[in-house]
Every structure is written in structure tokens, then in C-alpha cells.
Amino acid sequence: MQFTSLSAFLRAPGGALSQGPLAMIFAEDGVELDTTIRHHMHSGFARVLVFMPPALSLPPDLVPEVIRVDFDTKAEGAVQAAVTRVSEAAPGLWMFYCYNAEYLFYPYCETRSIGEMLTFHTEERRDAMLTYVVDLYAADLARAPEAVSLDEACLDRSGYYALARKDPANHNYPKERQLDFFGGLRWRFEEHVPAARRKIDRISIFRAKKGLILREDHTFSEEEYNTYACPWHNNLTAALVSFRTAKALKKNPGSTFDIHGFTWHNSVPFEWHSRQLLDLGLMEPGQWF
């Protein structure tokens, strides 16, 4: 099913917004778009909504499986506005959003569906889930000049840290149960990344709600949505492994000639398994066993 605009989709979504969880994938280009879609279909999302420029195409077998919306994903504020509008149209539905060449992993995802995880998360009275954006990059840029390689993907095994999130409305005191997380390529190559875009935390899984607004820094207008856990114990978190930063650093003329490789002494091959991310402390199972 294809729509010429987001407004056209929201006017007549059919059954697309009647059942969740819903995955929204924003295609900035065609790099690994098909694998991104297939990965999230396999995770058990009830619907996959793909926002993509009209010039891009989908593999024929995916055309009947996803809902395509023609969309300019690179327009300023476009992604935040789209997530906000879809959320407004389907209150109560669990939703997830990402970009192409990003892949969601959560504890035990090899044997449990996204629906099972969100059922548990709902029972813990949570309406959102913190995800860490973990940078992936090709091991050899000579073989993968765009820095994207599923077969030779690497990640950093260390170098991640958190700082208190200050509240400007409260004399810059730290916000309760909120932290700013850093690490990966945005930390190692920070001279090429604007300060406002260096964080690696993203509230990419959330329950839609009337009046909820996604902000430019990937947080929501309702502060409880931005917390990493409830007051009484640790909660589930997830990881979004992503080639997006590596791809941008090699595509940007201001950084591409300064970067000859992304690997360093703390690089390890990515095993495409949740156990590795759990062992590295890049996501948290909480009370879910």
C-alpha cells in the first residue's frame, strides 16, 4: 500500500493504526533499507510503515508487506513532526521509529517477539523505553567505502559514559531518572559532530498519546517518557545498532578525508546477537528473565 503523503495516509489509514506495535522506518537513502525492513518484520511488529523519498524503490516482495509513505526525511524537523502526528492519530498504540541501516535489539530478541517484551513492559506501568544507539561501522573502509558492511560490522566494546541531564527550568539541577549518554563514533570523532548531536540515547519505543510531542533531541514533551527506569527498580532497555553515524561521517565532505578507518583497540566484531549487547552493558533486561 502506498500513500503520496503523510496527510493522505492519516486521512485513510485503513487498519494500519488499529493494531500494534507499529514500526516507523525513515529512509534517508537506500543503504540497507531492505534489511532494515526485514529485520523489524522478523521482530514481530504488526505493521511496518516506511517513510521514503519517491525516487527510492522497494524490493518487489516487500511492496505488499509494508505501508509506504512518500516523504522527505531530510527536511528539517520532518521526522519529529511525522512521529508526533502518527502518535496523535493512534493513542494507546505502542510505536517504534528508526532510520535505515538501524536495527533494534532487545533482551532475548532471538526467541521472544517485540509484542511479548512490550506486554511485560506495560505490566510494569511503563509507557516508553530507553534505547542506546550503538554505532556500527565497517572493519575495512577500503572494502566498504560507505562504512556499511553487515558481514564485517564492528562496534566499540568500551568508551560509553553518562552525565546528569540538567534541568534549565530548575536551576540546572539534575532531572530525576534521566541521563545523557555518550560514546561510540560520536565520542571518538566528536570534532566532526555538533555538540547537540553527540548523545546516543533515544526514546525510540513509546506508547502513543494525545498531545505527545517528539523533540529534536529524541526526547518527548512528557518527562516521564524520558526516564531510564521507574522509581522502584530497573526496567528493560534496548539497543539500536546503527550504521547511521559512520555513514554520515564518510559522506560528509568535512570529515571524510580526515577519517581513514573507524577501528581502534577497543573495536570488536558485532555478533548480531542480543547476548553480546547484554554482556557489554549496552542494554538492560530489568526484571524480565
- On whether both 92 and 137 belong to a single domain, the answer is no
Of the candidates 117, 114, 147, the one whose C-alpha atom is nearest the C-alpha of residue 31 is 147
189/54 same-domain check: no
Residue 147 pLDDT grade (very low, low, confident, very high; cuts 50, 70, 90) = very high
> Is there a single domain that holds both residue 139 and residue 234?
yes
Give pLDDT tens digits for 241-285: 999 999 999 999 999 999 999 999 999 999 999 999 999 999 999
Whole-model pTM: value is 0.95
* One domain, residues 6 and 19: yes
Tell me, yes or no, whether 12 and 109 share the same domain.
no
We report the CATH number of the domain holding residue 40 as: 3.40.50
Domain extent, residue 63, equals 1-100
Total tally of structural domains belonging to the chain: 2
What span, in angstroms and rounded, lies between the C-alpha atoms of 203 and 178?
11
Residues 151 and 23 grouped into a single domain = no
Least confident of 15-19, 95-99, 154-158, 236-240: 15-19
Of 67, 100, 133, which closes a domain? 100
- Judge if 130 and 82 occupy the same domain: no
- Mean of pLDDT values over 192-201: 94
Is there a single domain that holds both residue 203 and residue 250? yes
Q: Is 129 in the same domain as 95?
A: no
- E-assigned strand segments in the chain: 2-3, 22-26, 47-52, 67-70, 94-99, 102-105, 128-135, 137-138, 153-156, 161-167, 173-182, 201-207, 238-242, 267-269
Single out the residue in 55, 79, 100 at which a domain terminates.
100
- 38 with 136, same domain? no
95 plus 124 within the same structural domain: no
* Domain identity same for 108 and 95: no
- What is the spatial order of strands in the sheet that 153-156 belongs to? 137-138, 153-156, 267-269
Encode pLDDT of 80-115 as tens digits: 999 999 999 999 999 999 999 999 999 999 999 999
Which tens digits make up the pLDDT trace of 211-228?
999 999 999 999 999 999
Domain stop point among 73, 100, 127: 100
